[in-house]
Amino acid sequence: KRLVVLVSGSGTNLQALLDEIAATGTEAYGAEVVAVGADREGIEGLARAERVGIPTFVCRVKDHGTREEWDTALAEAVSAHEPDLVVSAGFMKIVGKEFLARFGGRFVNTHPALLPSFPGAHGVRDALAYGARVTGCTVHFVDDGVDTGPIIAQGVVEVRDEDDESALHERIKEVERRLLVDVVGRLARNGYRIEGRKVVIQ
Ligand code: GRF
């Protein structure tokens, strides 16, 4: 299966996928990363792909007249690589109608909180501020909401009294990277069905 991964930052979730595929082999894992896209230049996530010769592309909102034009351009850029599955790994933009029309049902996102708790761009900070005793991460299919699509898998992470946002986020990412690698591999190898809010992996 062909994966296109979308990033906006450090790309450690992308790196976890690349490392797993390199270690187990494309055949055994069931997928390969054929391209990495971002909404901004000069981020470590793009460098991680370039280092191993994976094609990259950047699609910046400000290069387009409207948000819809950006969304269509992003969909085109992703389509060019003919993905079976698109993975948002720290991609910090909300996609629109056009993108979902093409990739809905095969577009997966990872979120650093236990959805439906703490959706949005500051899930780690919000869980901490709320005083949650456990939080975690969620891998889900993207629908037309924000972090509201059908949940595939979740991992629980305890919140420690001495945690600040970055310490907690690092601990979450340790679980999140393993969860994402596991889920993407199973979706790619086994195939899946989405039945309402349930995801059935064969
Ligand atoms: C991940 O925790 C992701 O859930 C959140 O931002 C982080 C991205 O980390 N949206 P990285 O870029 O994969 O290191």
Question: What number does the ligand 1 atom closest to the CA of 92 have?
Answer: 10
Report the relative pairing of strands 56-58 and 2-7 from DSSP bridges. Answer: unpaired
- Residue 109 annotated in ligand binding: yes
pLDDT in tens, 103-159: 999 999 999 999 999 999 999 999 999 999 999 999 999 999 999 999 999 999 999
Catalytic residue among 64, 111, 140, 169: 111
CA of 90 to the centre of ligand 1 (A): 4
CA distances to 75, 76, 86, 105, 106 from 102, in Å: 7, 9, 11, 9, 9
What residue's CA is closest to ligand 1, atom 10? 90
What residue's CA is closest to ligand 1, atom 5? 90
Task: Tell me the mean pLDDT in the region 193-197.
Answer: 96
- Residue 95 annotated in ligand binding: yes
Report the C-alpha dihedral over residues 97, 99, 100, 101, rounded to 10 degrees: 80
| The predicted structure's pLDDT at residue 133 | 98
**Exposure class string for 107-130: b at 16+ Cβ within 10 A, else e:** bbbbbbbbbeebbeeebbbbbbee
Q: Ligand 1 site: residues with CB under 6 angstroms?
A: 7, 9-13, 45, 89-90, 110-112, 173, 176
Answer yes or no: are the C-beta atoms of 159 and 118 closer than 8 Å. no
> CB atoms < 10 A from the CB of 142, how many?
24
| The predicted structure's pLDDT at residue 123 | 98
Q: What is the pTM of this model?
A: 0.97
Q: Identity (one letter) of the amino acid at 197?
A: R
Rounded Cα–Cα distance for residues 89 and 135 (Å): 18
Answer yes or no: are the C-beta atoms of 22 and 103 closer than 8 Å. no
| The predicted structure's pLDDT at residue 84 | 98
Answer yes or no: are the C-beta atoms of 176 and 137 closer than 8 Å. yes
- Residue 12 annotated in ligand binding: yes
Task: Mark whether 111 is an active-site residue.
Answer: yes
What residue's CA is closest to ligand 1, atom 7? 90
Residue 28: its H or E element: helix 26-29
pLDDT in tens, 76-89: 999 999 999 999 99
- Residue 93 annotated in ligand binding: yes
| The predicted structure's pLDDT at residue 36 | 98
What residue's CA is closest to ligand 1, atom 11? 11
pLDDT in tens, 20-69: 999 999 999 999 999 999 999 999 999 999 999 999 999 999 999 999 99
Rounded Cα–Cα distance for residues 106 and 108 (Å): 6
Rounded Cα–Cα distance for residues 169 and 189 (Å): 29
| The predicted structure's pLDDT at residue 18 | 98
